[in-house]
Structure 1
Amino acid sequence: MKKNARLLKILKFKECFLFIIEIIPVSIMRFKRLKHRFLDKVHRLKKKILTWSFVIFFVIIIFILMKIQTYQQLCHKFIDDLSAIDVVYTWVNGSDDRFDQSISKYKTNYDITRYDDKNELRFSLRSLEKYAPWVRHVYIVTNGQIPHWLDLSYSKISLITHKELTRHMEILPTFSSSAIETFIHRIPNLSKRFLYLNDDIFLNAELFPEDLYTNSDGVKVYNAWTVPDCATDCPWVYIGDGTCDQHCNIEECQFDGNDCALNDETEENDDRMFDMPEPVFYEVPKINDTTNGSPIRKLKSIKRKTDVLNKGISFKDYIKKSNFTRTFNFTDEKELKDYVEKFNSKQKTKIRTRNINLNVEKNSPESTSDIFMHSLVYTNKLLNRIYGFKSRYVLAHVGFLLDKDIIEEMEKKFSDEILKTAHNRFRSPEDIQFAFLYYNFLMSETINKTVSEIFDEFDSDNSGTLSDREIRTFLTRIYPIPLDWAAVKYAEQVLNNCSKVFFSDSKTQIEYSTLAYERYEDSKMPVISKDLIENCSIFKEAMLSHFAQRNRYKFLVNSKREMHSNFMMLKSNVTDVIISLDKFRRNPKKFNCINDNLDSNMKEENEMVRNLLEDFYISFFPHQSKFELPDHYRNKFLYMEDFEHWKTQKYILLIICYIISAILIGIFTSYLCAYKAKCARKCIELL
Structure 2
Amino acid sequence: MYIVRRLGIKRNISYILFLCLMIAVFLYSSPKRKHFIPRHFDISCTQNGNNSKTAANFNVPIDLVYLWVNGSDPKFILELKRQKALENHGKYNSSLRCRRQSDAGEHYHVIVVYPVLHSTKSLSGNENIEFIFNVTEQDMVYSVIVPKQSNEDNDIMSTLTIIEGRSYISLCGYITKEFLTEEGKILDNMYIVTVKPRDASMQAFKPIIQITKMLGEEDSISTDDIQVGSTTQVLVYGKLNNNSHFFDKTLKNLKGYGLEIDPAVLVWSTDSLVIKGLPRANRFAENDQLKFSLRSVEKYASWIQHIYIVTNDQTPNWLNTSNHKISVVNTEKIFPNKEDLPTFSSPAIESHMHRIPGLSETFIFMCDDYFFGQPITLRDFYTEEEGLLIHWGNRVNLCNPWCPHTSLGNGICDRACDNTKCMWDHGDCGIITPARMKRKYPNGLFSGSLYHTMGMFNRCSQQATDTVYYHEPRHSPLFVNRHIALDLENAFHEDFKKSSAFHFRSQFNVQYSMAYLLYVSSAREVMTTESIFDEMDTDKSGTVSVEEEMEFLNDKGISKASVTFLIDSTLQCSDSNTRKTGEKQQITKSRFTQCPGVKDFISWTGIWKPKYKHTIKSDENLHFIMITNHIGKSRTKLSKLSADPRKFNAINDDMDHGKRESVVAQELLQNFYEKLFPTRSQYELRGP
Paired position in structure 2 for 1:187:
356
Higher strand share goes to which structure? 2
Deviations 1:559-590 (A, max 9, x none): x21x1111112211111111111121232101
**Distance between the aligned counterparts of 1:419 and 1:493, measured in 2?**
47
Query: Matches of residues 383-394 of structure 1 in structure 2 within 5 Å?
Result: 383-388=457-462, 389=464, 390-394=468-472
**Distance between the aligned counterparts of 1:85 and 1:526, measured in 2?**
43
Match of 1:208 among 370, 374, 377: 377
Deviations 1:52-99 (A, max 9, x none): xxxxxxxxxxxxxxxxxxxxxxxxxxxx98311100001111011222
Consecutive unaligned residues in structure 2, runs of 5 or more:
1-56, 85-274, 430-440
Paired position in structure 1 for 2:657:
600
The alignment partner of 1:410 has SS state of helix
Evaluate the alpha carbon distance shift between residue 93 and residue 498 of structure 1 in structure 2; reply closer, same or farther with a 3 A threshold: closer
Query: Matches of residues 370-449 of structure 1 in structure 2 within 5 Å?
Result: 370-388=444-462, 389=464, 390-449=468-527
Q: CA deviation at 1:143?
A: 1.0
Paired position in structure 2 for 1:556:
615
Paired position in structure 2 for 1:613:
669
Paired position in structure 2 for 1:141:
310
**2:592–2:598 contact (8 Å) kept in structure 1:** no
2:405 aligned with 1:236: yes
Q: CA deviation at 1:437?
A: 0.7
**Distance between the aligned counterparts of 2:302 and 2:423, measured in 1?**
47
Q: Which amino acid aligns with 2:616?
A: V
Q: CA deviation at 1:218?
A: 1.5
Evaluate the alpha carbon distance shift between residue 535 and residue 101 of structure 1 in structure 2; reply closer, same or farther with a 3 A threshold: closer
Evaluate the alpha carbon distance shift between residue 233 and residue 552 of structure 1 in structure 2; reply closer, same or farther with a 3 A threshold: same
Q: CA deviation at 1:393?
A: 1.3
**Distance between the aligned counterparts of 2:547 and 2:389, measured in 1?**
33
**Distance between the aligned counterparts of 2:680 and 2:377, measured in 1?**
22
Relative contact order: is structure 1 or structure 2 higher (C-alpha 8 Å, sep ≥ 6)? 1
Q: Which amino acid aligns with 1:554?
A: K
**2:387–2:614 contact (8 Å) kept in structure 1:** yes
Consecutive unaligned residues in structure 1, runs of 5 or more:
1-79, 261-366, 481-486, 504-509, 633-687
Q: Which amino acid aligns with 1:582?
A: S
Deviations 1:352-389 (A, max 9, x none): xxxxxxxxxxxxxxx93310110111111111101143
**Distance between the aligned counterparts of 2:678 and 2:587, measured in 1?**
75
Q: Which amino acid aligns with 1:549?
A: W
Paired position in structure 2 for 1:473:
548
**2:409–2:455 contact (8 Å) kept in structure 1:** no
Paired position in structure 2 for 1:114:
283
Evaluate the alpha carbon distance shift between residue 394 and residue 544 of structure 1 in structure 2; reply closer, same or farther with a 3 A threshold: farther
**2:626–2:652 contact (8 Å) kept in structure 1:** yes
**Distance between the aligned counterparts of 1:492 and 1:165, measured in 2?**
50
**1:492–1:525 contact (8 Å) kept in structure 2:** no
Match of 2:578 among 507, 511, 514: 514
Paired position in structure 2 for 1:104:
81
Evaluate the alpha carbon distance shift between residue 478 and residue 101 of structure 1 in structure 2; reply closer, same or farther with a 3 A threshold: closer
**Distance between the aligned counterparts of 2:329 and 2:428, measured in 1?**
48
**1:203–1:592 contact (8 Å) kept in structure 2:** yes
Q: How many residues align?
A: 420
Q: Which amino acid aligns with 1:216?
A: E
Higher Cα Rg, which structure: 1
The alignment partner of 2:668 has SS state of helix
Q: Which amino acid aligns with 1:519?
A: T
**1:447–1:549 contact (8 Å) kept in structure 2:** yes
**2:538–2:548 contact (8 Å) kept in structure 1:** no
Higher helix share goes to which structure? 1
Evaluate the alpha carbon distance shift between residue 576 and residue 460 of structure 1 in structure 2; reply closer, same or farther with a 3 A threshold: closer
Paired position in structure 2 for 1:41:
none
**1:254–1:381 contact (8 Å) kept in structure 2:** no
The alignment partner of 2:460 has SS state of helix
TM-score normalized with structure 1 length: 0.55
Query: Matches of residues 429-578 of structure 1 in structure 2 within 5 Å?
Result: 429-451=507-529, 453-455=531-533, 457-458=535-536, 470-477=545-552, 512-515=576-579, 518-520=580-582, 529-530=591-592, 534-535=596-597, 540=601, 548-558=607-617, 560-561=618-619, 563-578=620-635
**2:627–2:653 contact (8 Å) kept in structure 1:** yes
**1:124–1:201 contact (8 Å) kept in structure 2:** yes
Q: CA deviation at 1:155?
A: 1.3
The alignment partner of 1:222 has SS state of strand
Q: CA deviation at 1:407?
A: 0.9
Deviations 1:618-662 (A, max 9, x none): 110001011111122xxxxxxxxxxxxxxxxxxxxxxxxxxxxxx
Evaluate the alpha carbon distance shift between residue 259 and residue 178 of structure 1 in structure 2; reply closer, same or farther with a 3 A threshold: closer
**2:399–2:422 contact (8 Å) kept in structure 1:** yes
**1:398–1:591 contact (8 Å) kept in structure 2:** yes
Q: CA deviation at 1:216?
A: 2.3
Evaluate the alpha carbon distance shift between residue 611 and residue 548 of structure 1 in structure 2; reply closer, same or farther with a 3 A threshold: same
Deviations 1:517-575 (A, max 9, x none): x331x6689999538964279x948x986x921000111111x21x1111112211111
2:442 aligned with 1:368: yes
**Distance between the aligned counterparts of 1:387 and 1:495, measured in 2?**
27
Evaluate the alpha carbon distance shift between residue 495 and residue 87 of structure 1 in structure 2; reply closer, same or farther with a 3 A threshold: closer
Deviations 1:9-66 (A, max 9, x none): xxxxxxxxxxxxxxxxxxxxxxxxxxxxxxxxxxxxxxxxxxxxxxxxxxxxxxxxxx
Query: Matches of residues 252-331 of structure 1 in structure 2 within 5 Å?
Result: none
Evaluate the alpha carbon distance shift between residue 435 and residue 531 of structure 1 in structure 2; reply closer, same or farther with a 3 A threshold: closer
**Distance between the aligned counterparts of 2:518 and 2:567, measured in 1?**
44
**2:72–2:285 contact (8 Å) kept in structure 1:** yes
> Taking every aligned residue pair, what percent have the same amino acid on both sides?
30
Q: Which amino acid aligns with 1:596?
A: D
Q: Which amino acid aligns with 1:514?
A: T
**Distance between the aligned counterparts of 1:473 and 1:402, measured in 2?**
35
Q: Which amino acid aligns with 1:97?
A: P
**1:512–1:527 contact (8 Å) kept in structure 2:** no
Q: CA deviation at 1:254?
A: 8.8
**Distance between the aligned counterparts of 1:496 and 1:165, measured in 2?**
52
Q: CA deviation at 1:248?
A: 5.2
**1:499–1:532 contact (8 Å) kept in structure 2:** no
Paired position in structure 2 for 1:683:
none
RMSD: 3.9
